[in-house]
Amino acid sequence: MRIPASPFYRFAIALPLAVACIVAAVFYPLLREAEDHIRGEVRAAIEQEILALDARFHDHGLEALRLEVQARTRSSEDEDGIYLLLGRDGKRLAGNLPDWPEGIPAGDENWFRLRDRGGHYIEGEVFVLFGGERLLVGRRSPLAGFRSSMINRMWWSAALIILVSGLLTWVFMAHLHGRLSMMAAAARRIQEGALSDRLQVGVGGDELDALAMRFNEAFDEIARRIEATQHLSSALAHDMRRPLTALHNALEEALADTPPSHPLHRRLEALATQTGEQLHTFAALLRLARLEAGAWQGARMECDLAEIAADAVELYAPLAERQGRAVHVDSSATMVTADPTLLFQLLQNLLENALAHGRGDIELKVGARQGEACVDIHDHGPGVPEAALERIFERFYQVDASRSGESGSGIGLALVKGIAEAHGGRARASNRAGLAVEVRLPLSVPGPAAA
């Protein structure tokens, strides 16, 4: 199974595993130490018994030793004792073992460990008496039961420790991941244009709260600079519009008073056209500033986006014909709640951009798609570099004047994005069949196509 790439999940898995390794490294030596201690105690008890029986043999002879071994095997006080006494000819004299266990050497002072028929482990020692008789003394060792019990307890303890540490780690990581996800979502909203949003700051005052406060301060500074830039551009457009309007009117009057055959007529006509384009740019800039500031006062109503698109195409179709091009429309009734004037301006700017920078016929599609109203336009031109697809919606940004024979003002697509976002929609661009610009808006009433 592949571990998720998130460091939170990796840490949540790695920590319990590390705890398990620590538990094994700590408890296993303790288990071995306890086993060695118990084995030492058992062997010490066996040696004490052998010394006592050897003393009995030296003091009272072999028969007394036999009777003592027989008495011990019949005693109910020590049921774990194992005894076997063999004569020098190997004949069994006494004990609770029927014969000499297989695999145990008959040499003097040999320690052995075996398993009886009942499954018990026996620790013992072989002792050769002075006359050549062999005495086997052993005890049923508690090591096997102790080891099994301790191993079971270790497994359960390790499982419990891993489970608790894993659960606590998972809860902590989930909490941390949730807070960071909220911060990332807020940062994404700010990136998408909600400049008034800020990261949530908790009451704990921890490192994440300090980080959120630092980010909020940075966002405040960015918002102030953007606002200052927008205010400056709007103020310049407003202040320059009045004298430019007066100049345009004067040029129109002078053009009306100048006969067409006069040498100044063509120059005055060119100057009037240029000032008209500048006035159009300033008007678009002021409209964009009002949209971004949320100060647009237009009335919103339920309208058919396809009808507005048809009106815009009817306006620009003659211009396309003069360029030897055509505008192909594929539309269906698409109801939205919006300002019709702004939507008409949006479609105007899309068609103007396609006519200015495209090459072949223009394809315009209007309809409902995936629960949203969609406007999709293709200009069949050279397109734009991939790195510039996001920036073409910025005000005053121009990719390259060589894309077309005209440079433009860099306001058209910025106004398209501003109008879309003012209606709760969005705009994006891609390179397919030239430059493709897609605008998505909320539907007023979901229809069959949206469903």
Domain edges within the chain: 7-147, 207-293, 301-442
Q: What is the CATH number of domain 207-293?
A: 1.10.287
Neighbours of 364 (CB within 10 A): 21
Residue 42, pLDDT score:
78
Buried b (16+ CB within 10 A) or exposed e, 171-199: eebeeebebeeebeebbeebeeeebebbb
Residue 12, pLDDT score:
67
Nearest-angstrom CA–CA distance, 422 and 434: 27
Under CATH, to which class is 7-147 assigned?
A: alpha beta
Nearest-angstrom CA–CA distance, 381 and 360: 7
Answer for the pair 7, 168: CB distance below 8 angstroms, yes or no: no
- For residue 149, give the 3-state DSSP assignment: helix
Nearest-angstrom CA–CA distance, 334 and 442: 10
Nearest-angstrom CA–CA distance, 133 and 95: 13
Residue 143, pLDDT score:
67
Q: What is the DSSP letter of 300?
A: -
DSSP letter string, 345-356: HHHHHHHHHHHH
Residue 441, pLDDT score:
92
Q: pLDDT tens digits, residue range 260-308?
A: 777 787 787 778 777 776 666 666 666 666 666 555 556 788 999 999 9
Percent of the chain with pLDDT over 70: 81
Dihedral of CA atoms 213, 218, 222, 228 in degrees, nearest 10, equals 80
| Strand pairing report for 92-95 and 81-86 | antiparallel
Residue 252, pLDDT score:
81
**Residues shown for the chain:** 451
Nearest-angstrom CA–CA distance, 329 and 362: 8
Nearest-angstrom CA–CA distance, 156 and 29: 17
For domain 301-442, which CATH number applies: 3.40.50.980, 3.40.50.150, 2.40.37.20, 3.30.565.10?
Answer: 3.30.565.10
Strand order in the sheet with 372-378: 327-331, 362-369, 372-378, 435-442, 426-431
Mention every residue, 6+ apart, whose C-beta is less than 8 A from residue 269: 255
Residue 308, pLDDT score:
92
Q: Enumerate residue ranges in the chain where pLDDT < 50.
A: 1-4, 401-407, 446-451
Choose among 341, 356, 330, 364: nearest CA to 408. 356
Mention every residue, 6+ apart, whose C-beta is less than 8 A from residue 363: 328, 330, 376, 377, 378, 380, 433
Q: pLDDT tens digits, residue range 130-148?
A: 878 888 888 877 766 666 6
Exposed / middle / buried, residue 443 (Cβ in 10 Å: 0-12, 13-18, 19+): buried
Q: What is the DSSP letter of 84?
A: E
Tokens of 406: 């005209």
